[in-house]
């Protein structure tokens, strides 16, 4: 869901019309280690990552919501719009399972190539000796996020999210629920199912490197 953090009422109204109240947006599911409302927490997280938030007018969240009471999301994104209407940067809130840790990456939107050293343990089948390469594009109707994990010049892993915006209505919420009836459960099931397949294939298992590489709220 794409949420204007100045106006979450319309989201709640749309969700209330879904069957059995199956979808629910709970602000307490996000950015848990910061205080205040969700917009304030997003601004605090971005500032802690080195973002200059003084000129920020709007904050939008692209996030998973609760589905039949269950919430899990590997990553949520927060977009920061300046007074002149330009998107200045994006904050990625990355979570891992089963360790339940959180890490933040701040991606400048005005920069063509954004690379970060991987510093957060996510998958037990990929080590930290690689870089994240980000490409992010946002328009009034479309959104594109691409993340490549590269070791030197070789791509180890590539994930792309390409979305077309639709109006937030009760009808569109029911459509999403019909297409993805138990999205949050599906995410968790997919993570562990693919992990099992990799384990059966004898892909080397990499243990968690320890607290120095997995502290909640590390920022980069």
Helix pair angle (170-179, 9-16), 10° resolution: 60
What separation in angstroms does the CA of 6 have from each of 24, 42, 173, 197? Answer: 17, 12, 20, 43
Which tens digit of pLDDT belongs to each residue from 160-209?
Answer: 999 999 988 888 888 888 888 788 888 888 888 888 998 899 988 888 88
Environment class of 153 (CB within 10 Å of its CB; exposed 0-12, middle 13-18, buried 19+):
exposed
* pTM of this structure: 0.87
Q: For the chain, 220 residues long, give each residue's pLDDT as a single digit of tens.
A: 999 999 888 787 778 766 667 888 999 999 999 999 999 999 999 999 999 999 999 999 999 998 888 888 999 999 999 999 999 999 999 998 888 899 999 999 988 788 889 889 888 888 899 999 999 999 989 999 999 999 988 999 999 999 999 988 888 888 888 888 788 888 888 888 888 998 899 988 888 887 644 433 444 4
In 3-state terms, what secondary structure has residue 5?
A: coil
Tell me the C-alpha distance between 49 and 47, whole Å: 5
The residues facing 58 across adjacent strands are: 81
Indicate the domain borders of the chain.
2-115+161-219
């Amino acid at each position: 869901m794409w949420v204007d953090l100045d106006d979450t009422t319309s989201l709640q109204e749309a969700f209330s019309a879904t069957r059995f109240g199956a979808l629910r947006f709970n602000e307490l599911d996000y950015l848990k280690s910061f205080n205040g409302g969700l917009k304030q927490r997003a601004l605090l997280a971005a500032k802690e990552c080195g973002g200059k938030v003084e000129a920020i007018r709007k904050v939008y969240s692209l996030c998973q919501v609760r589905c039949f009471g269950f919430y899990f999301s590997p990553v949520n994104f927060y977009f920061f719009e300046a007074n002149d209407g330009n998107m200045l940067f994006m904050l990625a809130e990355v979570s891992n399972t089963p360790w339940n840790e959180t890490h933040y990456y701040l991606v400048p939107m005005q920069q063509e190539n954004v690379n970060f050293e991987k510093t957060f343990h996510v998958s037990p089948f990929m080590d930290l000796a690689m870089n994240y390469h980000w490409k992010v594009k946002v328009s009034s109707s479309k959104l594109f996020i691409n993340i490549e994990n590269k070791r030197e010049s070789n791509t180890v892993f590539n994930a792309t999210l390409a979305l077309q915006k639709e109006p937030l209505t009760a009808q569109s919420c029911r459509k999403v629920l019909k297409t993805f009836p138990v999205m949050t459960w599906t995410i968790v099931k997919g993570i562990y199912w693919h992990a099992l397949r990799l384990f059966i294939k004898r892909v080397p298992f990499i243990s968690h490197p320890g607290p120095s590489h997995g502290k909640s709220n590390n920022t980069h």
